[in-house]
C-alpha cells in the first residue's frame, strides 16, 4: 500500500479528518442501490477505504449488512469509536488490492473519495495500474448484477469546486494528477468486466460542511490536516497561500473573492458519482 501512504499519513491525520469531511450524495447512493434487483433492506455492501466511517453511518439505517474496509489504523480507530455497537456495520483492516473476502460476497462495492490514493496517475487508463487491480478485486467479490460505485472528483471540480485551491496551485496540480479522468475510469471499468455506466453530480453539496464557508478555516492547522492537498502543496506554498488569505481577510476583499469562487463551484460541484454493474452472467 505504498501508493496509499505516499503523500499523507492518515494514521496521524485521522483525528482531524472529520473536521473537513461529511457524507454527501447519500440520496444518489441509495437511488442507485434501489435500482438493483436485490431489495435495499437485504443488501450486503462493502465500503473500500471507509475512512472514519461517515458513509457507513449514513447508510446504516437502510441496509442489511455493511462492511467497512480501511488500511489506516488511525482511520479505523476513529471509525470504531463512531460506529461501535452500530449493527449492521462491521469494520475490517485490509487492502483494496487484496480484498479479504470470498468471491461474490457483496451486492455493492463503494469507493468514496479514495481511488486517488492508489496511483500517481496521468490521463490514460494504463497510468492507473493499482486502480485496475482494485477494480479486479471489486469485480471478484461482487455478485452477478452487483454494483460498483465511486464518489470521485473531475479535474475541473478540483480546480473550481474548492475555493482554497487557487491559494495553492502547485498542490492542486499534483492532486489532479492522482484523480483519474472519467473517460479513463470508464475504460478501466469496461476492461474489468463492468457494464451499464451511470453518473450524477450533487451540485449543491460540499464535502467539507463544517467550516467550508468560513475563510479562516485554512488558517487552522487541524482543519488543514483533514485535506491532503495541503500536504501536496508543501510548507513554502502553504505559507504563501495562507499569507495571501490573511491579506484578503485583513483588507476586507475576501468576501468578493469567495463569492467569485462560489460561482465556479455552483457550476461544477465538488464530486461526481459514477457507477456500473457486474454482468449478470
Shortest CA distance to 3 belongs to which of 133, 124, 190?
Answer: 133
Regarding predicted confidence, which is higher, 120 or 174?
A: 174
Which cell is 13 given? 491525520
91: closest CA among 113, 114, 66, 72?
66
Q: Render pLDDT for 55-100 as a digit per residue (tens, 0 to 9).
A: 999 999 998 899 999 998 888 888 888 787 667 889 999 999 999 9
C-alpha cell at 248: 484578503
Helix extents (H) in the chain = 10-17, 26-34, 54-59, 73-83, 129-141, 155-160, 169-176, 182-191, 221-224, 229-251, 254-268
pLDDT at residue number 3? 42
6 pLDDT band, cuts 50/70/90, is low
Q: What is the pLDDT of residue 1?
A: 41
Q: What is the DSSP letter of 274?
A: E
This prediction's pTM = 0.90
Digit-coded pLDDT (tens) for 8-64 = 555 555 555 565 678 899 999 999 999 998 999 999 999 999 988 999 999 999 988
Amino acid at each position: 500500500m505504498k501508493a496509499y501512504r505516499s503523500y499523507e499519513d492518515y494514521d496521524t491525520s485521522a483525528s482531524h479528518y472529520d473536521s473537513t469531511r461529511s457524507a454527501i450524495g447519500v440520496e444518489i447512493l441509495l437511488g442507485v442501490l434501489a435500482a438493483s434487483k436485490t431489495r435495499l433492506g437485504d443488501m450486503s455492501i462493502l465500503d473500500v477505504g471507509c475512512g472514519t466511517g461517515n458513509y457507513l453511518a449514513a447508510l446504516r439505517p437502510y441496509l442489511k449488512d455493511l462492511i467497512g474496509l480501511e488500511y489506516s489504523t488511525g482511520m479505523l480507530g476513529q471509525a470504531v469509536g463512531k460506529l461501535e455497537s452500530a449493527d449492521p456495520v462491521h469494520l475490517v483492516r485490509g487492502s483494496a488490492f487484496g480484498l479479504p473476502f470470498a468471491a461474490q460476497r457483496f451486492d455493492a462495492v463503494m469507493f468514496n473519495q479514495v481511488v486517488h490514493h492508489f496511483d500517481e496517475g496521468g490521463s490514460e487508463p494504463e497510468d492507473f495500474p493499482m486502480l485496475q487491480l482494485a477494480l479486479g478485486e471489486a469485480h471478484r467479490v461482487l455478485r452477478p448484477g452487483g454494483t460498483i460505485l465511486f464518489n470521485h472528483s473531475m479535474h475541473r471540480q478540483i480546480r473550481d469546486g474548492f475555493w482554497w485551491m487557487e491559494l495553492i496551485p502547485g498542490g492542486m496540480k499534483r492532486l489532479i494528477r492522482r484523480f483519474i479522468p472519467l473517460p479513463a475510469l470508464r475504460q478501466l471499468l469496461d476492461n474489468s468486466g463492468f457494464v451499464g455506466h451511470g453518473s450524477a453530480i450533487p451540485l449543491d453539496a460540499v464535502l467539507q460542511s463544517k467550516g467550508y464557508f468560513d475563510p479562516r478555516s485554512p488558517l487552522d492547522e487541524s482543519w488543514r490536516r483533514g485535506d491532503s492537498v495541503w500536504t501536496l502543496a508543501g510548507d513554502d506554498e502553504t505559507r504563501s497561500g495562507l499569507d495571501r488569505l490573511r491579506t484578503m481577510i485583513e483588507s476586507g476583499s475576501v468576501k468578493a473573492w469567495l463569492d467569485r469562487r462560489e460561482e465556479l463551484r455552483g457550476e461544477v460541484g465538488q464530486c461526481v458519482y459514477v457507477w456500473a454493474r457486474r454482468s449478470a452472467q
